[in-house]
Structure 1
Amino acid sequence: MLITPAEYKDVLDTYFIVDCAIRDRNVFGFALDRVFTDEEVQEEERNNWDSSRRPKRLAVFYREDPEGDRLGAENLGNWGSLRLGAIAVPKSQFFLYEWHQHRVYVIGSGEDAFETPLSSRTNPNAPLHAGVDRIKTFNGKAFLCGGYRGFAERLGPDSYRSHKALVEGYPLDDDESGHEGFDDFDLFAEDDIYAAGGKGDVWHFNGTAWRQIAFPFKGWLNTVCCGGDGMVYISGYEGVTFMGRGDEWRQIHHGGTHLSWRDMVWFEDRAWATSDNGLWTITNGVVEFQNHLLAPEISVCSGNLSVADGVMLMAGLGGACFRENGQWHSIFTAGQMGKLLLEK
């Protein structure tokens, strides 16, 4: 493990990871939510408090710093659910979005700032119709997607290129609302983007216009990955998965994973997908469960994935690890840290 029990106790104990992002191969970020005790849950229920608004933190792991000094954190208060991304343009920073008040918090390179909330209710110029469901980085810039087929590119502080007017079909009829995307997206290039969500709602952007794709599955969709093999991978309910491009698709996995995949990325020579229940790979259209091939200190970290700068980061309820040059490295596991703290 790459952090000490003292660092774990100060930053991660009583918290769990809900999202992760890579600024560069040596700086990893973790969005954290508080673990409540049974007594705290009972108090929460008695007072009808919103369980999504427990205390939050942003933790940052600095891989090259000396042992015992690699982990820091920023307390965020009783914020809503978090989405975390990273940017390199105009400078290397983490980009954090909060659902309840649509806050945007940017931190890194010696600066931190709150930007204008991304709320269409209070800001008619907001770049999205609704909240942010996914943040991804391409060419150093952050791209965002959200409900009602929302998509935007962050150009700089408080500056976005919005695609609201480009994607057809909004506002939707009442019987369609809630069945549309976007829950995820990915890019081959800035003029070759796939976005999906809702019930089989898949679209493609060619740099000028968006076009709805004739997709063969009308169930709920969750993740999109544009592969280094030139194929697009789209997953949905319980891990059902399709691969294809344009209007040609074939099903390669029938699901049955109980939890739908939360993240799907391309790394090394394959697609990787994860949920809290495990890690899968897709190679040449073949989906394989990986947990039985992984060391316990790696498999317990499943939940969220992020790829950048030659590194794949995996983090979740059980801990965090990363893969580089074909090798896995454990940052920490909650179980091992808990045992070490009890022994002290």
Structure 2
Amino acid sequence: MPDTPLKGLIMRTAVVRLPGLGYIYAADPKKEADEIPHAITFKYKDGTFTRGEANYDAHSLAVVSQPELGLISISGVGYYSAIMASGTTTGDIFDDSTPAPQEPRTGGIRAVAAINGKAFAVGLRGMVYRFDGPKRWVRVDDGLPKTFNVQAIHGFSDTEIYAVGRDGAIWLFDGRHWRPCESPTSVTLTSVRCAPDGAVYIAGHHGVLLQGRKDMWSVIDQTVVSDNIWDLEWFIDALYVSTMSNVYRLKQSQLEPVNFGDDPPASCYQLSAGTDVMWSNGEFDLMSFDGVEWTRIV
């Protein structure tokens, strides 16, 4: 890792909004070893890192435009912060949500994602929450079984949302009801992306990559990646796929490693696309892509 304010830290997650503007949440390995809840936060703007601190283990981020422009961060136990144009609020998803579930809930939040500009947080035991404003989360998971351990969520609109998780499970939400989709795999699914080409892409363990929509799903028979796929992103006109060690572009049903240039990252994990820019972050590397070339930020 080059000599940046993140030297000695481990990146947990990052999200980009515009070229030269994004957010990075990291951890101190010593505090992690001592199990001290924390996050070290950075706003990155045009080469400058502005550091902050959080007293909970924030591990997933989403840039939202509804109900106003903001950044939502969540932790596994349910703590969150909403850094909005009108101010910052913090709280507990389980305390700040309605309607109440049939049984009390604690922990198990896996990820937060923006759908139609709104933040959706998902987790184990069939949990889905929508952020409607400071201190206002709406539980939208009635009908999902407790056996569905949700790992990721994405959608085309409020009335076509896909949640994926363990055992190859895919569920579809029409804005009112959830129903299961017939999945062609039983591996853990880790990421889902509703793409501008009209297809839904889903990825998971052992290089599994699916394509489809609603009741029609097929396996993309790529032969390049057998590692677990951890994230998907659509950027400009293509699907990008990330493992822990590399980033690939889907081209004619095959995955091609991207060309990072003469300074490739040693770690990959997640992808994030904003306006005219995509980021790839691993534990120790953060790379930015403008559609032509990759440049290193960290």
Q: How does 1:183-198 map to 2 (within 5 A)?
A: 183-198=151-166
User: Structure 1 residues 276, 303: CA separation in 2 closer, same or farther (over 3 Å shift)?
Assistant: same
- Show CA shifts across 1:282-340 (max 9, x none): 134322233xx3214344452211112232111122321222243323223xxxxxxxx
Q: Does 1:107 align with 2:75?
A: no
Specify the alignment match of 1:338 in structure 2: none
Q: Does 1:19 align with 2:31?
A: no
Q: How does 1:1-344 map to 2 (within 5 A)?
A: 5=3, 8=4, 11-36=5-30, 44=33, 49-50=34-35, 53=36, 55-63=38-46, 70-77=48-55, 79-80=56-57, 82-100=59-77, 102-107=78-83, 109=85, 111-115=87-91, 117-119=92-94, 125=99, 130-165=107-142, 167-170=143-146, 177=147, 180-253=148-221, 257=225, 259-290=227-258, 293-300=259-266, 302-332=268-298
Query: Does structure 1 conserve the Cα–Cα contact (< 8 Å) formed by 2:231 and 2:271?
Result: yes
**CA distance in structure 1 between the partners assigned to 2:37 and 2:175 by the alignment:** 40
Larger Rg: 1
- State the Cα distance separating 1:224 from its structure 2 match: 0.9
**CA distance in structure 2 between the partners assigned to 1:145 and 1:124 by the alignment:** 15
Structure 1 length-normalised TM:
0.76
User: Structure 1 residues 191, 55: CA separation in 2 closer, same or farther (over 3 Å shift)?
Assistant: closer
Letter in 2 for 1:119: F
The structure whose residues are more often strand, as a share, is 2
Instruction: Provide the secondary structure at the position in 2 that maps to 1:306.
Output: strand
Letter in 1 for 2:210: F
Instruction: Provide the secondary structure at the position in 1 that maps to 2:196.
Output: coil
- State the Cα distance separating 1:147 from its structure 2 match: 1.4
Instruction: Provide the secondary structure at the position in 2 that maps to 1:199.
Output: helix
- Show CA shifts across 1:101-148 (max 9, x none): x21112254733313x1237x978568955321211233321222112
**CA distance in structure 1 between the partners assigned to 2:129 and 2:97 by the alignment:** 15
Letter in 2 for 1:33: A
User: Structure 1 residues 94, 264: CA separation in 2 closer, same or farther (over 3 Å shift)?
Assistant: same
Letter in 1 for 2:289: R
Letter in 2 for 1:32: A
**CA distance in structure 1 between the partners assigned to 2:97 and 2:179 by the alignment:** 27
**CA distance in structure 2 between the partners assigned to 1:317 and 1:283 by the alignment:** 27
**CA distance in structure 2 between the partners assigned to 1:236 and 1:255 by the alignment:** 14
Query: Does structure 2 conserve the Cα–Cα contact (< 8 Å) formed by 1:238 and 1:255?
Result: no
User: Structure 1 residues 140, 81: CA separation in 2 closer, same or farther (over 3 Å shift)?
Assistant: closer
User: Structure 1 residues 303, 211: CA separation in 2 closer, same or farther (over 3 Å shift)?
Assistant: same
**CA distance in structure 2 between the partners assigned to 1:283 and 1:231 by the alignment:** 14
Q: Runs of 5+ in structure 1 lacking a partner?
A: 171-176, 333-344
Instruction: Provide the secondary structure at the position in 1 that maps to 2:263.
Output: helix
Aligned residue pairs total 295
- Show CA shifts across 1:175-234 (max 9, x none): xx3xx2310121112211111101011011222321100111112211111122211111
Letter in 2 for 1:211: R
Instruction: Provide the secondary structure at the position in 2 that maps to 1:183.
Output: strand
**CA distance in structure 2 between the partners assigned to 1:161 and 1:54 by the alignment:** 26
- Show CA shifts across 1:11-58 (max 9, x none): 31211211111244442001101134xxx99xx5xxxx43xx464201
**CA distance in structure 1 between the partners assigned to 2:9 and 2:144 by the alignment:** 41
